[in-house]
Structure 1
Amino acid sequence: MKLLFSATPAFGHILPLVPLMQAAVGAGHAVGLLSSAGFRAEVGEELPPEVEFLEAGVMPGEFSEEAARRTGADVFHPTPSTIGEIFGGSRVDLGIEDSLDRATAWAPDLVVAEPFDAVGPILAARLRVGWHRAGIGPALPAAITREIDRVASTRYDRLRLDPVAASRYIDPCPQQLQDPAWSSTARVLSVRLGAHRRPKDVALDLPDFGEPDRPTVLVTLGTIFSNPDTLSATVAAVAETGVNVIATLGSFLRDPRASRASHGEVARVASARVRYVPFVPLAQLLEKADLVVGAGGVGTVVGTLAHGLPMVLWPQGADQPINAARAAASGTALTVDSAAGIAPAVAEVLENGAYRSRAGDVAAGIADRPHPAAVIAEVTSP
């Protein structure tokens, strides 16, 4: 069978799909990923080599800029209606023709689309094949999915297509993070996902800390919101507590030496207890950490909890406030609204073992969920 995965060109949208792609490849299926050509080089190393990359559509900067032009809204702190225009309108308009061409030529038997992706369902309707929605974390609030669907509906009308409902919702979200009020019209299949890891680990140039017995805190703001000023403020606040710090620079700051200069006083004064690293699969870094300080990106939240680690979260935008709120409600994290709140929150989570205990409970629940191979077997069965 030929499985086409359709996703927004961003790490947080694609990496949670990789275990499903790996399982499909392992089961002997042909697997394709449809996303922007501009993201191919960025994500290529993270994909199974057997996955065929189908280039179509534009990068987030372009379709977000178009959505901002159309709405006049702040796309980094969007309302549901703005999210609807970004993903159900602008991204579709700027990429659907190429997407239809690539998908038609590739001729999939089944489409799998992540929650923000409105392109995959349109392809399934045009090609008259079934499709499944694959979650990437806590399910999107109904207010957001309604807006994406509402805006996308006019694109179906232009293409003279009728929307087709997803057959299944593949849910990677541990129960403790899911909104209790959430329900799905499609049949829900639970799946076990962890932090992203490449088939071959990345070599880390990470000198030992001078005082290795101190707790180690991983600071990661993800790949989109790693603004140097925000990162510097976060690292400084964490280092203030006397812990060792590993800080990721995000996917667009590849050279740690160049980035240290931009982080100025933090890099010079705290260098004995701070290590900056470029983009590295999260699983490798979690093995070295006792606590994670992040922005609340879904990959960070779910991956960290799969490792049984607690968090301190400072949301910066997009869906991060939703993820952070669910993590806080589960008792596995504290949330803050400024850099000033980070140091006391770090101290509290490290001193209070209840946060790590609850994170361990979530990790145990994740480990009990079905393996991606079992899910792929079910969705591809006759």
Structure 2
Amino acid sequence: MDLHYNRQIERNGYVTAESLKNAIQGIGREEAMLLKEFLIWNAEIRQSIGITHTASTYRAYTVAFESLKRFVRGKYEPGDIAFNELDYSFIEDYVFYMKTNRGLAAKTVYTQVKFIKRLLQRAVHKGIISRHPFPDYVPDSSPVIRRWLSKEELDKIMGTSLQKKNMNFIRNLFVFASFTGLAYVDLYNLKQENMVTDRDGNKWIHQKRTKTGTEAHIPLLDIPLRILEKYRGTGKDGKVFDLSEYSVARRTLNLVKRECKLDKPISFHMARHTWATLICLSNGISIEILSRMMGHRNISTTQIYAEATNQKIDEDMGLLEERIENKYSFTKEEINNV
């Protein structure tokens, strides 16, 4: 009885003898479920594409739904959870799951929580619940640590034989991103008209970034040129590559990771970081040039990669210090002269 009483207080803000009796006997309206309502909301967003929402917004909400669905169906027996069962422990568990089980960055976790809070606010407006169960909840907003592949890890990805066509394709596109710095959405939107040859015969990508709207100018090295040649003519509607939605590519990339026996999560965004750090900064490309190639609005954004590279130098120097400890030393006489 206490459970039904508390649920009605949570949902409606009040309880009556009749409503409590009906709840105990299983009479009355069906409980509103979180994933079911999320699907309804996504369907409405899809119908409004081009009117009040963009296709990219719909894709973002779809990704948020899929992430939440994996968590809920892995934790709750019916495969869904009622709105009136949501509390702080639910969102804390979900955030913990995203950080530990999926290895998502703090910024991504924050975005996923934001989608859920919007869904719950919508539920309040629709009268599904009387109040938001965690309106003030904010996940840990520690700065995102940008991660990239080492040369050994990139070599492993490039050198592993993959028998399945879809895995080989996604691996090659990941390598392409690692040598061009393109985000997945920009790979998806890359068109033949973005491929430019300058007066010296050098080939470039000139493309406006989807995220920022700024122009990126990227010179094409030998490896991405070979990948372009391999998939020449496979794209549709003027696109360079015939890519699926990111959720499909992400699942395939996870299979690639397993085949390559890598011990850390990889993503197309990691490929972009790999290009910025391992390929460019570590080989002497200046911050100013890198910023233009990445299509950053200001150089301070690019500076984060330089700081990350310096952090790696500090870590490597720490390891070096451990390795050479006690291997080199002054004589007692000379140490006094230093």
Query: Which has the greater radius of gyration?
Result: 2
Determine which structure has the larger helix proportion and give its number.
2
TM-score, structure 2 normalization: 0.37
Determine which structure has the larger strand proportion and give its number.
1
